[in-house]
């Protein structure tokens, strides 16, 4: 007797080519018919997803992409995981914060009204929250205070979702900074590089050294998305979750551990006045060229006291999720990968290879 093959539920991922998106494509492809919206084709190893070109900054392009999706996969979507957004640590203004992160979300939700969508998941940022007083973990009801363009755009996109989702169930995930054993975290990689290269700046810190920021391992983030999608039928119509590690390393502890793992000794951090730090950052920024532009910008100095401990009780209750990794336990492997192959580590993290490493290679002194 012939049995009809049951069709897999459709799962749409925007920004599918990125670090998080590519992992989600691989994770969900076995149980879902994964459709990937992105500007560029997916790598060969992600052929299991159906790539549909989509420019979220263009009305017509979004309409074409959604029409292609409907023709190929029908008008029923189990979950939309919306990752596509603009992100830049330079602090420079960009129209893409509005055109892509905010209005791109609006265009997508507007087009999805022509589908039956069981769930719309938005990857927001923990940085939309106000910095916390010591001893007060951030939860879903904590105050908001996005302080620079990236979190401001995420918060604006959240407001778009509240207005434009209409009957589509939504989940907003306010995510801590993501990392893995290769680092893949801009602030952590920058701090590691400063200590590894013994830069003068690595000894000075213009903020409260007892503060810190929650982070989130990539594997735990993937598991969180899995839980969100699997439980989509039972979640509240509009859900919000703080997602990060409750175990928090202070800036001082992180600095000490990096010195220990990289150089065999603790790496002291000396607190300096913010005005002095701003002046130093401004001077260095002025005399540098585009290729060696410093990471630390004057505007970052004002944010040095930010404190982001989190409480994830809400995620435990509704998603039955909590992280299995801790940054403190991942640092030894992260720093060991740097020491064992510095060039690879710098390239993976998008950092210029230090001149002394290039000199060592030219002299044939490193394997």
**pLDDT one-digit tens code per residue, 73-100:** 999 999 999 999 999 876 778 999 999 9
pLDDT confidence of residue 43 = 80
Give percent of the chain above pLDDT 70. 83
Report yes or no: 304 and 205 within 8 Å, Cβ to Cβ: yes
Residue 80: per-residue pLDDT:
98
Number of independent structural domains in the chain: 1
Domain-embedded: residue 346 = no
Q: Work out the end-to-end distance of the chain between its first and last CA atoms, rounded to an integer number of angstroms.
A: 63
C-alpha–C-alpha distance, residues 306 and 189, integer Å:
18
**157 in Cβ contact with 122 (< 8 Å):** yes
> Residue 158: inside a domain, yes or no?
yes
Q: Which whole number is the average pLDDT over 189-202?
A: 85
Give a yes or no: residue 203 inside a domain.
Answer: no
pLDDT in tens, 30-57: 999 999 999 988 887 767 899 999 999 9
Residue of higher predicted confidence among 276 and 197: 197
Q: Outline where DSSP puts E strands in the chain.
A: 10-14, 33-38, 50-53, 76-77, 79-82, 116-117, 120-125, 170-175, 177-179, 204-205, 215-217, 238-243, 270-271
Mean pLDDT in the chain? Answer: 87
pLDDT digits (tens, 9 = 90+) for 129-162: 999 987 799 999 999 999 899 999 999 999 999 9
Q: How far from the centroid of its chain's Cα atoms is residue 243's Cα?
A: 11
Phi/psi for 178 (5° steps) reads -90, 145
Domain presence at residue 281: no
Residue 314 lies in a domain: yes
| Half-sphere exposure (Cβ direction) of 164: Cα atoms closer than 13 Å | 20
For 36, phi and psi rounded to 5 degrees? Answer: -110, 120
Higher pLDDT pick, 294 / 346: 346
Q: Does residue 364 surpass a pLDDT of 80?
A: no
Residue 363 covered by a domain = no
- The answer to whether residue 24 sits within a structural domain is yes
Distance CA 64, CA 14 (A): 15
The answer to the question of residue 334 being in a domain is no
Residue 198 binned pLDDT confidence (cut-offs 50, 70, 90): confident
Domain enclosing residue 73, as ranges: 10-179+217-244+309-324
For tokens 């992160």, the residue is 101
Nearest partner of 258 among 206, 312, 197, judged by Cα: 197
* Burial category of 269 from C-beta neighbours within 10 Å (exposed 0-12, middle 13-18, buried 19 and up): buried
Distance CA 292, CA 193 (A): 14
- C-alpha to C-alpha distance for 13 and 353, rounded to whole angstroms: 33
- Average pLDDT score over residue span 236-264: 93
Cα(282)–Cα(260) distance, rounded to whole angstroms? 30
Q: What CATH code is carried by the domain that includes residue 119?
A: 3.40.50.720
Helix (H, G, I), strand (E, B) or coil at 253: helix
CB-neighbour burial class of residue 159 (10 A; exposed 0-12, middle 13-18, buried 19+): exposed
């Amino acid at each position: 007797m012939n049995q009809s093959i049951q069709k897999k539920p459709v799962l749409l991922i925007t920004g599918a080519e990125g670090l998080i998106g590519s992992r989600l494509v691989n994770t969900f492809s076995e149980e879902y018919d994964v459709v990937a919206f992105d500007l560029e084709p997916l790598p060969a190893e992600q052929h299991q997803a159906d790539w549909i070109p989509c420019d979220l900054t263009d009305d017509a392009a979004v309409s074409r992409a959604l029409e292609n999706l409907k023709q190929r996969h029908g008008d029923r979507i189990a979950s939309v995981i919306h990752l596509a957004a603009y992100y830049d640590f330079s602090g420079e203004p960009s129209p893409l914060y509005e055109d892509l992160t905010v209005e791109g979300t609006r265009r997508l939700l507007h087009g999805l009204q022509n589908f039956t969508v069981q769930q719309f998941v938005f990857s927001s940022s923990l940085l939309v929250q106000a910095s916390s007083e010591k001893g007060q973990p951030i939860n879903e009801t904590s105050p908001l205070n996005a302080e620079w363009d990236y979190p401001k755009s995420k918060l604006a996109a959240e407001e778009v979702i509240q207005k434009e989702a209409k009957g589509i169930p939504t989940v907003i995930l306010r995510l801590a900074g993501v990392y893995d054993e290769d680092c893949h975290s801009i602030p952590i990689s920058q701090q590691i590089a400063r200590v590894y290269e013994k830069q003068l700046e690595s000894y000075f810190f213009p903020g409260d050294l007892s503060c810190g920021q929650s982070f989130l391992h990539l594997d735990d983030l993937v598991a969180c998305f899995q839980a969100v999608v699997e439980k989509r039928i039972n979640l509240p119509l509009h859900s919000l979750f703080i997602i990060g590690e409750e175990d928090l390393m202070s800036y001082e502890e992180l600095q000490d551990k990096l010195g220990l793992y990289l150089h065999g000794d603790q790496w002291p951090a000396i607190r300096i006045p913010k005005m002095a730090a701003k002046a130093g950052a401004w001077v260095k920024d002025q005399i540098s060229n585009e290729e060696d532009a410093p990471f630390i910008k004057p505007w970052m100095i004002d944010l040095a006291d930010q404190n982001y401990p989190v409480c994830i009780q809400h995620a435990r209750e509704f998603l039955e999720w909590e992280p299995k990794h801790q940054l403190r336990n991942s640092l030894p492997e992260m720093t060991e990968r740097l020491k064992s192959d510095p060039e690879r580590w710098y390239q993976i993290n998008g950092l210029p290879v230090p001149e002394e490493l290039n000199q060592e290679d030219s002299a044939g002194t490193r394997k």
